[in-house]
Amino acid sequence: MKSNQANRVKAKKEKVRVLVVDDSALVRQTLTKVLSTDKEIEVIGAAADPYIAASKIRDQVPDVITLDVEMPRMDGLTFLKKIMSQHPIPVVICSALTEAGAETTLKALEYGAVDIVTKPRLGARKHLEESRMRLCDTVKAASKARVRPIRATDQVAVSRYTAGTLPVKKVSRAMLRTTDKVIVVGASTGGTEAIRLFLEAMPLDAPGIVIVQHMPEHFTTAFARRLNMTCRVTVKEAEDGDTVFSGRALIAPGNRHTSLSRSGARYYVEVSDGPLISRHRPSVDVLFNSAAKYAGRNAVGVIMTGMGDDGAKGLLELNEGGAHTIAQDEATSVVFGMPREAIKLGAVDKVMPLNAIAGQVIWECGRKG
């Protein structure tokens, strides 16, 4: 009897406690209802603005906060910066599905938010179920994320550290031109910053890169545009038929699967609709499986921070096809789920910290055979 009671108490404590912050009463009600459908999540409160949220946090600290960025009295970005500088709590930005709002939301990721999710849309049952699944999965992933205080100097310090430690500039142009390599990368929770650091370390003539980052539609457009401003390689959101070539990185568009294909010596991407694969669209497995088929040993696969197992089986297929495969290590991952699952399958040749991956990828691309 006592054992059963203890188990019930333990199960209750293990629920992810969520505070919903949004100025819309309808959105607060909808998010609470949707999150409450998951037995592993408990909504402990809702707040119409950051001042009310701060008061609730003083009474009970949540495991995760869902936060709108546009609110009265204090905007979400200001509140987020206060949270991350004073008492870091995993924050998921819950944003409207607009390209205009995407730019502001991406700033939230730079300020320490763990992930982005779009507000649930009313419509067909399929869309509602996918929206519910994504929201609940994102919140549970965020609860496992490593968060730390964000200082004003962090962005500058990280960029300087990365540029100074990665040996990418030592790779000669001749070495890169003798290869026909393709780099494929998959990431989820925490991946936006990981991908930024990875791409900023890439030289101008790096082999073609294709990336799947779990992110809603419209946000990938803004994400690619921001990366293109800071990276030496050209970065753009992938469009169906885009050629994969040296010096270009393609980001899979949100809500569309992106796969690698080949016509003669030309690599290109196919962007398509389709069902969720490994609970995601775009799916890392879709990209990795296609790279195994069309690039084989000419591919280098990288799996980065993220919750779940998307990409693990695809990376194994890449590895078995002769591609070199790399996983981000636990210490530098915001969430170690995806790399861990790939490692468990035996799909990974090297496990490395984030700041070493770009240099290793370029070295592998420069090898013959």
Task: Report the amino acid identity of residue 325.
Answer: T
Amino acid at 4: N
Mind listing the domains of the chain with CATH numbers?
Answer: 2-143 (3.40.50.2300), 164-366 (3.40.50.180)
Question: What element of type H or E holds 299?
Answer: strand 299-303
Span 131-152, pLDDT tens digits? 888 899 999 999 999 887 765 4
Q: What pLDDT, in 10s, does the model give residues 230-266?
A: 999 999 999 999 999 999 999 999 999 999 999 988 9
The answer, yes or no, to whether the previous bond of 282 is cis (omega within 30 of 0) is yes
Q: Distance (Å, rounded) from C-alpha 35 to C-alpha 23? A: 18
Options 214, 257, 280, 324, the catalytic residue:
214
3-state secondary structure of 51: helix
As a whole number, mean pLDDT of residues 76-82 equals: 91
Tokens of 333: 């991952």
At 122 the pLDDT is: 57
Question: Is residue 157's pLDDT more than 70?
Answer: no
C-beta separation of 205 from 366 below 8 A = no
Split at pLDDT 50, 70, 90, the class of 99 is: low
State the amino acid at position 228 in one-letter form. N
Q: Which residues pair with 213 in a beta bridge?
A: 187
Q: What average pLDDT does range 330-341 have in this prediction?
A: 96
Of 95, 131, 143, 188, which residue is the catalytic one?
188
CA dist., res. 169 & res. 160, Å (int): 14
Residue 79 DSSP class: H
257 part of the active site: no
pLDDT for 121 equals 66
**268-303, pLDDT tens digit by residue?**
999 999 999 999 999 999 999 999 999 999 999 999
pLDDT of residue 368: 56
What DSSP state is assigned to residue 230? H
Catalytic residue among 310, 324, 329, 333: 310
Q: How many other C-beta atoms lie within 10 A of the C-beta of residue 177? A: 11
Q: Is the pTM for the entire model greater than 0.75? A: yes
Phi and psi torsions of 72, nearest 5°:
-75, 165
- Name 13's bridge partners: none
Q: Six-digit token pair at 317?
A: 């297929």
- Judge contact between 267 and 242, C-beta under 8 A: no
Q: Which of 119, 71, 112, 127 is nearest to 95 (CA)?
A: 119
Confidence of residue 158 (pLDDT cuts 50, 70, 90): very low
How far separated are the first and last CA of the chain, in Å rounded?
A: 64
| Active site (annotated) includes residue 310 | yes
State whether the Cα torsion 276-277-278-281 is positive or negative: negative
Q: Is 188 a catalytic residue?
A: yes
